[in-house]
Amino acid sequence: MTEREPLHPHNFRFGATIPPASEIDLATLDLIDGELWRQGKYWDRFERLRNEDPVHYCPDSFPGPFWSITRYEDVMAIDTDHKRFSSSWEYGGITLGEPLSDFEMPMFIAMDEPRHSEQRKTVQPAVAPDMLKVYEPLIRSRTQGLLDSLPVNEPFDWVDKVSVELTTMMLATLFDYPFEKRRDLTHWSDVATGMHNPDICPGGEEEWKATMMNCLMTFMGIFQERQQQPLKPDLMSLLAHGEKTKNMTPMELLGNVILLIVGGNDTTRNSMTASVYALNKFPKEYEKLKADPSVIPNMVSETIRW
């Protein structure tokens, strides 16, 4: 990771010694301090919040003030009560900080009922269990071919060669996006969530906007093409033919496309990477896996949970 200045004056500097949670003032605790996460020093802070201040207000942080809800029962109560707790992009959406006022991207994860369920159900068939069964032989074939192609007895970048590549292959399939241009999807996902990361988006807000517009222009063309074609099971065809999505505004189309790209890219590639890291970190668990491959499905769930 490139060493850089903290995003907020109160944040820890790169490599700083971070005191234990027991020594800090809860009133000044900022859970989104990037250095906490880089060093993995956040667990005791979550524990203290759950025990002492489960509904915690942070008045000052890089994206602005925010609340932290750290007990399961409270999270569930809020998450299932859309009448009192809105997810709508019109009220700030589901991410910290204020969205760009001149570049709002509505997306169904940041909508309240009934629009949330209406749009989510439109794309759900693309990843339904029966479709995943159809894709299974293709996924297995690609995985086997990719693993067989890896270098032996020499270092290589697992994240790029395996995690990102396998994920991007599947994303291109789900969108029916040109396979030879599949790394476009990776780039758009990285930039969408990395406006303030100079390693990903060195041009800041202006580069971010330009990249998002390039994504929109590309997918607007695909969307219009699919509207003229018979319905198919890919995500873009489902959006183009869905009663609740076929008349989306361009920015709503962009928002939903970015949601689906980021949702498919981040979770999958990070889980693949974390699984290798976890098996290396816990060698006894790796031995269990080699001794009994039938526990692989459980290992996948535990890796995601971990």
Separation of alpha carbons 72 and 269, rounded Å: 26
Amino acid identity of residue 298, one-letter, is N
> Nearest-CA neighbor of 226 among 210, 194, 248?
248
231-251: burial string, b at 16+ Cβ within 10 Å, e else: eebbbbbbbbbbebbeebeeb
Tens-of-pLDDT digits for all 306 residues of the chain? Answer: 556 667 777 788 888 999 999 999 988 888 888 899 999 999 999 999 999 999 999 998 888 889 999 999 999 999 999 889 988 888 778 887 777 778 888 899 888 899 999 999 999 999 999 999 999 999 999 999 999 999 999 999 999 999 999 999 999 999 999 999 999 999 999 999 999 889 999 999 999 999 999 999 999 999 999 999 999 999 999 999 999 999 999 999 999 999 999 999 988 999 999 999 999 999 999 999 999 999 999 998 888 888
Q: Is the peptide bond before 114 cis (omega within 30 degrees of 0)?
A: yes
User: What global pTM score does this model have?
Assistant: 0.86
Q: Give the 3-state secondary structure percentages of the chain, helix then strand then coil, rounded to 5.
A: 60, 5, 35
Integer Cα distance of 223 and 211 in angstroms: 18
Amino acid of residue 37 = W
* Whether 106 contacts 251, CB under 8 Å: yes
User: Residue 262 and residue 200: Cα distance in Å, rounded?
Assistant: 15
In the chain, what are the domains?
1-80 (no CATH), 119-305 (1.10.630.10)
Q: Which of 187, 273, 191, 197 is nearest to 1 (CA)?
A: 197
Cα–Cα distance for residue pair 4/13, rounded to 1 Å: 8
Task: Yes or no: say if 79 and 86 are a contact pair by the CB < 8 Å rule.
Answer: no
How many other CB atoms sit within 10 Å of the CB of residue 29? 18
